[in-house]
Amino acid sequence: MTDSNKPPVWFWVASVAALLWNIMGVMAYLGQAYTSVEQLEQMTQAQRELFEAQPAWVTAAFAIAVFGGTLGCIALLLRKKWAKPVFFISLLGILGQFIYGLFLSNTIEVYGNQAIFMPILVIVIGVLLILLAKKGIQKGWLS
């Protein structure tokens, strides 16, 4: 490894932070996928109906988003350029999940405008991870 293709410290910091972010996403996915009866009973009627009406493809999109993002971050830390297409796949999962949540369901009606912030943040981070991988490839940090 020469100095010219050695990633800077900020690359490693960003990659580790992104990995932690995606691990939190995996935990959120697992929490949703394994929601207990007790947890369902703690929801309002509207929240429970929204949860129970969610199609399987949305759950699959959520899984693709978070597991793809996690795998992409691992690829960044391993300095592999296949991180970029994995992040693209993850972004497709993100977009599928949030298109349903924002446009095809009554999520905003149930949770209010606060339900808009997280999808926007997740989409922005997904795009930034693609750009990070692209920069890594261009600079020769990823092979």
Mean pLDDT of the chain, nearest integer: 95
Whether residue 78 has pLDDT greater than 90? yes
Q: Which pLDDT belongs to residue 106?
A: 92
- CA-based nearest residue to 128, from 91, 98, 81: 91
Question: Do the Cβ atoms of 94 and 122 come closer than 8 Å?
Answer: yes
- CA-based nearest residue to 66, from 32, 35, 95, 90: 90
Q: Which pLDDT belongs to residue 1?
A: 47
State pTM to two decimals.
0.92
pLDDT digits (tens, 9 = 90+) for 123-139: 999 999 999 999 999 99
pLDDT digits (tens, 9 = 90+) for 111-124: 988 899 999 999 99
Whether residue 3 has pLDDT greater than 60? no
First to last CA, the chain: 11
C-alpha 73/C-alpha 60 separation (Å) is 20
Query: Please, which pLDDT band fits residue 97 given cuts at 50, 70 and 90?
Result: very high
